[in-house]
Structure 1
Amino acid sequence: MTSIFEVSPRCKELQKKLIDFVENDCLPAEEIYESQVGTGDQRWKTVPPIMEELKAKAKSLGLWNLFLHKGYKEGPGLSNLEYATLCEISGRCPRIAPEAMNCSAPDTGNMEVFAKYGTPAQKAKYLAPLMNGEIRSAFAMTEYAVSSSDATNIETSIERVGDHYIINGRKWWISGAGDPRCKVYLVMGKTDPKNENKHRQQSIVIVPSDTPGLEVVRPMTVFGYDDAPEGHCEVKFTNVRVPVENIIAGEGRGFEVIQGRLGPGRIHHCMRAIGMAERSLDTMIARVTDPSRRTFGRILARHGTVAADVAKIRIEINAARLMVLAAADKIDKLNAKGALRDIAMAKVLVPNMLQKTIDLAIQAHGAAGVSQDFPLARFAAGARTLRIADGPDEVHIQQLARFELMRGEEIRERNKAIHNRRAQILDNGSKL
């Protein structure tokens, strides 16, 4: 993998190790992992043993917690750009490799929240075991009854009563909530619903998973996939009581926390999507160049439409990669807030590119493409979901349009200056 963006020799060495780990350990473990998940209710009580073996190997190779960038003393010292290149490699095996490296959502975002905003006590109790891979976590923001793409709509109440917060609300699509290893939730709700500044109404509190009143109602499915044992669950909070020291950063800072959490996370998702697209293209190429598979006397690759699809996919993957790397580089230089435009562009472009790539790969496989014999069907479910998760396409497009349209006055002034200069040149007999 080559890039116009320079990375350190250490990162290049990690790339080599990770390619070997994914190709020789993670990909061969995919079917084994699925067979170990279990059936029925056991799907939510069983952690596939092979995952623990893979985690131990990743740790021994130094492929552990790579996501936490060099701004954090707890991290391995990589930049967001460097991690993005590694994230692509792990994305070739999205069900296994990220978790094996302790680099899977929602834990990565939650660990960054604890690292950035957590008190020493919060870090000791939750960040340390998360970074050691001993427990998992969930982030509870999206709600059943409101349009959560606008997070100001969140209705879950977080009311202070004496030395405790009382939480009431109904959440859903809470990733990781079904996992038996999930020991802590970060819950977003309103501590000050009457605040005139709608972005200061929300706060985030820590809720241990065994707190009375916290109920995992049901796992949700994504195009039929339940993603056990982690799952995406509906969760109810009924008079859930936690001490006031469980607040993250302070009351009214929920929006600030989630913006810092979601920016890098969106790029992580996009880079893994590049890896999924590369694997989908590889799967397609293997299929269409197989000499045993012929239609109308020719292998599939000899049909013009198929060959053209392969070429177009290559162009779009490479373009998407450059956009994501540029966004990661901008985060390194200007932080997530300064890179909002680049993040928005990547978050729209990449999932759409991935969805198109997978669809063409499925088409080239015929009926096999939608079967369990290839990863494409599961990839398709993930790709379509990614156009909704962490902000739907429309939100990012609207944000990007606002950024662009703000340049209107500047452009008009520049055009006016050009017009005046043209008139000046004509007055001088067309001489500069």
Structure 2
Amino acid sequence: MEDAPATTGVVDAEKVASGVRFLSHPDVQTTPLAERLAFLEKKGLSRAEINAAIEQHHQANAVLAKPEPAASSSLWSILFPMAGTTAVLGFLWKFMQYDEANKLEQETANAAAYARESTASTETALVQAIQAQTAEMMKLMSVMQLEAQERRALLSSQTTTSHSISELRAELASLQAAVAKLGSQPAPAKTPVTTEAIPKSPVAATDDTAADFQARAKKMLEALKLVELDNNAEVVKQAAGILIMYTKNLVEQPDVPRYRRIATGNANYKQKIEPLQHHLALLTSIGFEKVGMSMEWKWHGQPASLVLLKAAVHAFESAVASNGDVLAIAAESFLSANAPTAIEAPTLPEPAAEATPNLDSFLQKLGAKSCTEDDKSTTEPSYPASFADVMKMVQNGEEVPGIRTIEDKLSAEAQARLDAPVAAPASKPWAT
């Protein structure tokens, strides 16, 4: 009994402080209280010291757990955070708006610069394309100008050639007239005879027919000369091809009605006949007349008119063969060979006393003219008019005038080579 109060009364402050530290340790607070007390007893703390340490430990925890006094609330303490937050948010909003505006402005500037660059590149390409097209157009215009100059030069040369040809034809006609004048015999003395005293006989009717035929032939030759002088050679050649078709069918079958009609609305007529100057005069001179929308041949009842058609066909074929030239000359040569009465002979000046017509002198002239034509036809060979005539003469075994026969003989050197003996062929190794 006496030891207990002494034990309880003596307390070591260091041991109590050590026990408080032990109990305050975070790792120790999770262990049960009995284990903690047992550990303190093992450390040599008395019951009083353990109780003092536990009491101090509880007091320290109570001081730490005591709540702080509540702060006095006021209106300013509520408004100040809200005002600060609003100011911060407003500043952030303005900053964001400014940043967005800068970004938008930068994007707009970039887009405008890209648009300007693309527009500039497009304009540059367009300008280059326009410049290239302009250069091509200039080249084309220069080529066209050169072609126009060449055409003018060609036209002037063709005009000069046509003039020279017409002059040559005039000289040829004058020479023919001079030759005919020199070859004609002087007519015998004529006795004046009045036409009333002599009745009209069949000879006079023949004379009228010959005069009519001669007038038609003259009209055709004049039309051919006009066509030849006033047209280009190529145009004459194209028209001659179609005119050959029209006139040849008419010559071969004059009684067929459809061959006696030419449709003026036909494409061949429009494209090849109408560009020919004086084509109406030419068609009229060989017997065609305008009837409605076509040209009809009105000489189908007159056999002598076929000679004029044949002369026209011969002229057209000569034009095709000679590139549009010698139309009138070809027709005149055909008429002189097949119808001598169609060509007018140059008349000599007669004395004043022989002004009245004389039938006997006319018959004598006609006989002399026929004799001269027969002599001319017998002395001069009749040349074929085309290659088809040449082939017909060859097939019939006739000799074609103007073609030389070449002997089918070899030269002496070639004959000697053929007569020389041929060397024996070389022996072949495998043949032995």
Structure with a larger share of its residues in strand: 1
TM-score range, shorter chain: under 0.3
Structure with a larger share of its residues in helix: 2
The normalised TM-score by structure 2 is 0.25
The normalised TM-score by structure 1 is 0.25
Bigger radius of gyration among the two: 2
